[in-house]
Amino acid sequence: MKNILFIAPPAGGKGTQSNLLVENYGYVHISTGDLLRDVDETTLLGKKIREIQASGHLVDDETVFELLKEKLKTIKGHHFLLDGCVRTVKQANIMEELLTEIGLSLDIVIELDVPYDALLKRATGRLSCPRCKAIYNKFFKQPFNEGICDNCGEALVLRNDDNEETFKVRYDTYLKNATPILEFYENLGKLVKIDGINDTEKMISEKIKND
């Protein structure tokens, strides 16, 4: 099994594939967003992070990776997948150094390749249940009764920001930020591009098992 970093465009299916790896293979899913939200405020590091956030500033890379380092130290013996932990080439370099320092490695970087039109339909067709949090899509996964959640009968909602204009901005931002990161990992020989539409789960399974 291999330690993984996922890189995918908005609505690219990263969350779905991450959940499958956790359920099927026991991966530890690590998101810097989750780490920051769930930080232990009784520790010195936790207090520092809350003070930075309370001031209205973004938590700096050094502090975020210090938090990530502490998390990684607790999961030795388990394979991990990283989500949202690398957003710049600078952070990619820091990640490589951090993992080497604590005796771990990032074995494979998986880019989920999904055509723009499919991404757009995934994003703009998304319907969610405000009660049980179930997700549907008016193009791909419609509820049995239009506009009604199959699980709990609640009326489904479409988020205001799930529109084509907003999605295009998010997608263009992703391309701008992700391209140099993908090049960085390609130069390290770690990048693998996987079809995010057909047999995605099967292809990921094959890649994480093969040496």
Give the residue numbers annotated as catalytic, written as ranges: 14, 87, 126, 159, 170
Using only the alpha carbons of the chain, give its radius of gyration. 19
Closest by Cα among 205, 184, 189, 182 to 9: 182
Instruction: Please state whether 113 falls in left (phi above 0), alpha (psi between -120 and 50) or beta.
Output: beta
DSSP type of residue 145: S
Closest by Cα among 77, 13, 64 to 35: 64
